Structure 1
Amino acid sequence: MHPVITVTELAALPKGSSGGATLLDVRYQLGGPPGRPAYEAGHLPGAHYVDLETELAGAPGTAGRHPLPDLAVFTAAMRRAGVGPDRDVVVYDGHLGWGAARAWWLLRWAGHERVRVLDGGLAAWTAAGLPLETDVPPDENGEFTPAPGALAVLTADDAAALARRGVLLDARAPERYRGETEPIDSVAGHIPGAVNAPTTENVDPGTGVFLAPDELAKRFGAVGATPGAEVGVYCGSGVSGAHEVLALAIAGIPAALYVGSWSEWSRAGRDVATGPQPG
């Protein structure tokens, strides 16, 4: 299944519990307010809200700001939203696509293959003149059963080793990669050997729609990430990095995610590099 779906394609799909697509609203903004009030003010018809901070991530700690969620909590959230083995899932958010990508990645990691991200998110839906609703659908009783491990996950040691033998992409802003500023974590810089490929450059800046597969392949190929390479991704806390893994998937390049990312690495006293990447 292609990892993204257009507004036109989604509008043509049946919705709801009678065999149609399950819609998940995962509105999230780093440092911003919770997404639930915005969801209640207007969402795609039939969409269930899923909270990234509490249902798609565990509690912040030594494993980072957004570690893997407790599997029971994640499973309960997916079942409440009606996710099941025979249901297509479409996830969207209202900002940069990062929250939707985190949900996509978690579902794929947990073995659910029938999941796509709405390209352009809520903005693309409303720009097409399609309706929103304020009614909150009742909880469902999906038959989602996770089978973790379907997508590769990196530990800190794995990430360090991959940076030496393969391609480790740092998906953060260039100034954070270079160590010129660090607005969130306690240490500035990057994992030694990593190369910078900012998540924000995966999409058209005006619409938030992903670049075409060949454009993404060219972008990633310029930093050594090709279909034949061993590729890993990290970011600040494993959210925008999931968006990078999604963009790589669109380009036909499998990649592993270091979920703990810089928020774990920088707390552990590991080696830190600064400055621009070579070449």
Structure 2
Amino acid sequence: MNATITASQLASDLAGPTPPVLLDVRWQLGGPDLRSAYEEAHIPGAVFVDLDSELAGPAGAGGRHPLPDPEVFGAAMRAAGVSDDRDVVVYDGGQGWAAARAWWLLGYSGHPSVRVLDGGFAAWAGPVSSEKPEPVPGTFVPAPGGLPSLDADAAAGLARSGLLLDARAGERYRGEVEPIDRVGGHIPGAVSAPTTENVTEDGTFRPAAELAERFAALGAVPGADVGVYCGSGVSGAHQVLALAVAGVPAALYVGSWSEWSRDAGRPVAVGPDPL
């Protein structure tokens, strides 16, 4: 599985005979979209993609960022120039969460070659542009199921029979604070593994060996049955990406806590990690 690319390697690939399709997915939780930041300066040739409207469906019973309608997602990707036979590189402002969501969704939808710019736009030292590109329309048609996913029942089962990682901050996992969702806490049996611990101070991923050591200590090793959830399937995608860098495949519970906590019939656990 393709995972990440450095800024220097991206610069080289963009100068090559078959440059990748470049998607700018800068995004901020709870704030206005960052299209204005894209319009001010972006990596030349990048097309802006809005997470809330193109990488997710309308918020509702399925959570804040449920899977988008395949037709809507496919149309957005084709308009950006995405085709099956051309590499794709995605980047965001540097946190990596939104880019990982695009990476996961494209992989889930069957695209064979997608990478995330490690460190995002903040890591890019090359030229920037304010010109909006006009890409040749692509031919990509989503075929969902290319990466493993979980619904609420499967996530509950995995927390009992395998390993379900909670990618949110520890205080949200423990139920000490809950700034967004109906109730605080975590899925019973889930293990706390904050996404923020996967990266260095500059926002780039820790070396693969360090990530493998971190996840192994939690029980996430090659061959294990591993799943991830977060608040609404965005930072959880970043955790799946980090696990991929470490060589550990994992499934994503897209609805995550925003779906789970909406259902008053679902059990909620609070308190420290059982590990």
Provide the rounded CA distance (Å) in 2 between the counterparts of 1:10 and 1:79. 21
Deviations 1:179-218 (A, max 9, x none): 00000001000000000000111110x2111011110011
Matched, 1:227 2:222: yes
Residue 20 of structure 1 corresponds to 19
Separation (CA, whole Å) in 1 of partners of 2:32 and 2:214: 32
Give the match's secondary structure for 1:151: coil
The reply to whether residue 102 of structure 1 matches residue 97 of structure 2 is no
2:274 counterpart (268, 274, 278) = 278
Give the deviation of 1:45 after TM superposition. 0.4
Aligned equivalent of 1:148 = 144
Q: Is the 8 A contact 1:75 1:146 kept in 2?
A: yes
1:2, 1:85 → 2: CA distance? 14
Mapped to 2, the partners of 1:15 and 1:49 lie a distance apart of 20
Q: Matches of 1:151 and 1:218 in 2, distance apart?
A: 23
> Match of 1:275, as an amino acid?
G
Residue 46 of structure 2: aligned partner: 47
Deviation for aligned residue 1:228 = 2.0
Q: How far off its partner does 1:14 sit?
A: 3.2
Number of aligned residue pairs: 274
Match of 2:184 in 1: 188
2:236 matched residue in structure 1: 241
2:259 equivalent in structure 1: 264
Contact 1:29 1:95 in 2 (8 A): no
Q: 2:24 & 2:166 partners in 1: Cα distance?
A: 27
| Identity level (%) | 66
SS for the counterpart of 2:13 is coil
Is 1:81 matched with 2:80? Answer: yes
Contact 1:21 1:90 in 2 (8 A): yes
Gaps of 5+ in 2: none
Shift of 1:85: 1.4
Deviation at 1:15, TM superposition (A): 6.0
Q: CA deviation at 1:95?
A: 3.6
Point out where structure 1 has 5 or more consecutive residues left out of the alignment: none
Distance 1:81 1:96 in 2: 22
1:169 to 162, 165, 168: 165
Give the drift of 1:19.
3.4
Is 1:124 aligned to 2:123, yes or no? yes
Aligned equivalents of 2:149 and 2:128: distance in 1?
36
The one of 165, 190, 213 aligned to 2:208: 213
CA separation in 2, counterparts of 1:72 and 1:38? Answer: 27
Q: Give SS of 2:8's match.
A: helix
Runs of 4+ in 1 over 2 A off after TM superposition: none
Q: TM-score, normalised by structure 2?
A: 0.97
